[in-house]
Amino acid sequence: MVRDSGHTAEDFFIYAMSGTDDFAYSAFKSQLEAMAAVSDKTFVMADNEQEGNLAFREQEGGVHDGDYASQYAYNGLMWFWNGGNKQDKESFGKACFTLDSTVGEVIKDPAFGDFGRLLFPVDRTVPEDAALSEISSENVYVWYSDIQPEKTVEIVNHLKARAEAGEKIFFSIYPDEEIRKDASKADTGLFYFGGNPGEKFAIMNAGGGFMYVGAMHDSFPHALEVSKMGYHAFALIYRPDEAYEDLARAITYLYDNAKELGIKADGYSLWGGSAGARMAAVLGNRDYLRELTKRNDIPQAAAVIMQYTGYTDTSDADAPTYACVGTHDGIASWKTMQTRLERLENMGIPAVHAAPDWLPSTLRSFGRL
């Protein structure tokens, strides 16, 4: 068709991109290789218009979704607007992080401003020269196993793409004057995974034994998936010693700024795993919410979603609750969580627990979370 149109190789330039984990990758790459192999040189694989008219970029670990499509489009437009592939060849490698990207490269990326350091646990030693594949381990995220480095890469790329598209992806929950009085409050904030205008929001609270905040493994993935459903998701970075105070401030901040943020002020949910689950349960309790926020106008959470914790307190002021835990969890017994939810049910509070006989399938349904 190209040849029949009368155009020659000098008349066009094809810029192609795909992720190596994209289900269409193999067929797409084969197509481009076949085009480059055409004997009449209608298509010549090259990096610039002086040497050819067909370029192919591969993103390691990239999948078939809108986030990567946005990144590919961004780089394609950079090529067109900046006069060719020489600049693009350099910028493309920087635009998308890979398993080999270092912590320092992520932290210092302009898209993350001065809050990039909060993507990783500030209460743990995380070497800046370590690759993302290396830090996605129990050595950094204590008490967590089966961490998926590919998810780490997906998350930082997702946030970077949204930031470069002009979206605000981080909100400080304390004003500057408070931070000047207490420097520890600079280590707090909300990473934002945006949803549809006017939709409900969720606050995700990572675990870490109140020693550190394991957000990359225990709240960012949840926030990413919830945002894909159209809801607004905020992952809280809190101070382990002041966790409940920081969550109370985060709830207050989002409620007071709901209109400006385009989120629904009520009907929100609190999520958490391990220590974060305790935080969600406590602030999901109507009485504790009022005590910790010192406000009576903020509505109680519509639901608490909690994972693997030994929290046992119950009262008739608790929120409707869903809980899940593994039957082989050596820290938080599923029996403890089941007993608590049964007590909530007896109080007339809606509660769902993953009973042992169907727990595995339930966890599979939450596998991406």
Could you tell me which residues come within 8 angstroms of residue 218 by beta carbon, excluding any fewer than 6 positions away? 141, 144, 206, 207, 208, 273, 274, 276
pTM of the model: 0.72
d(CA 19, CA 25) in angstroms, rounded, equals 7
pLDDT of residue 353: 66
**What are the C-alpha distances in Å from 72 to residues 18, 62, 128, 182?**
8, 10, 27, 42
Cα 330 vs. chain centroid, distance in angstroms?
27
* Mean pLDDT over each residue of the chain, to the nearest integer: 87
CA 5 from chain center: how many Å? 46
Q: Which domains does the chain have, with CATH numbers?
A: 9-95 (no CATH), 103-365 (3.40.50.1820)
Give the pLDDT of residue 54: 85
Give helix 149-164 / helix 220-228 axis angle, nearest 10°: 60
Considering only residues 38 and 81, tell me which one the structure prediction assigns the higher pLDDT. 38
Asked if 143 and 207 count as a contact pair (C-beta separation under 8 A), the reply is: yes
* Rounded mean pLDDT, 334-349: 91
For residue 284, pLDDT over 80 is answered with: yes
